[in-house]
Amino acid sequence: MTPPVRPRRFAPLNPAKKRDGDTRPVLKGIVFDVDGTLCLPQTYMFGEMRSALGIDKGTDILDHIYSLPDAAQEEAQEKVREIERNAMKKQKPQAGLVQLMDYLDSRGLKKGICTRNFDAPVEHLLTTFLPSSKFHPIITREFRPPKPDPAGILHIAKDWMHEDGGDSLIMVGDSIDDMTAGYRAGAATVLLVNDVNKHLVEHQHTDLVVKQLDDLIEILENGFEGKVEADQEDVNAKGLVREATNI
């Protein structure tokens, strides 16, 4: 698939903001990560998982599990799931979560999830904090290959009957896996920035940066404008990046 032209742009979702001659494409859906995106980060889980599996920080948890003999994989998965079950009881929603989802629902925009979590923490978050908001499809750990591979996002795009892969989508997340998966799928990418991930602000796979989820409302209402590349100074997205990273 040919990568979309960057910076990524979408027409305003507010019909009153649309103007004749605006050639920006229409945004058709948004895909969200879960931990650190829809809920506050629970990064302590990863240390507990690696300790339970006997691996170091430089080893990807899922890559390690999938490298094990079949008989050992389920045991390793259950160790990880137990940690996630305990953590999900402490989930807290991200600031602006409900406001953003209410807005997207009011605009009739499709919403999907692509996460490396297993299904129970995802279901717990949705039923606890977003009981009336629909997400479909929901891609969890059972789907392979996981992020940073774009397969999960492309699967969502196909389910939504999009003929342009991820070009009509935005991927919202907080990690390099999210940004890279979105970028490789052709989607625009939005980083929910925090003190831990702010090194990703200037990463080539990051199109736009927000401090909290409901910051996206005004952006989508008025038209999405992605990050400006070195030779494209006509959009003031660099100013938005500087403002968003003042945390």
The predicted pLDDT at position 117 comes to 86
The predicted pLDDT at position 244 comes to 43
The predicted pLDDT at position 1 comes to 55
d(CA 141, CA 12): 33
Which position has the higher pLDDT, 217 or 230? 217
d(CA 66, CA 100): 35
The predicted pLDDT at position 236 comes to 40
Question: 67 forms bridges with which residues in the sheet?
Answer: none
The pTM of the whole model exceeds 0.85: no
Question: Taking a C-beta distance cutoff of 8 angstroms, is the pair 14, 222 a contact?
Answer: yes
Question: 224 forms bridges with which residues in the sheet?
Answer: 10
CATH homologous superfamily of 24-40+93-224 equals HAD superfamily/HAD-like (3.40.50.1000)
Reported confidence tier of residue 3, pLDDT bands at 50, 70, 90: low
Question: 210 forms bridges with which residues in the sheet?
Answer: 192
The predicted-structure confidence for 33-68, as pLDDT tens digits, reads as follows 999 999 998 777 777 888 888 888 888 888 888 899
CA neighbor of 190 nearest in space, from 12, 175, 39, 3: 175
Residue 213 in 3-state DSSP? coil
d(CA 193, CA 199): 9
Q: Strand locations in the chain, DSSP E?
A: 9-10, 29-32, 110-114, 138-139, 169-173, 188-192, 208-210, 224-225
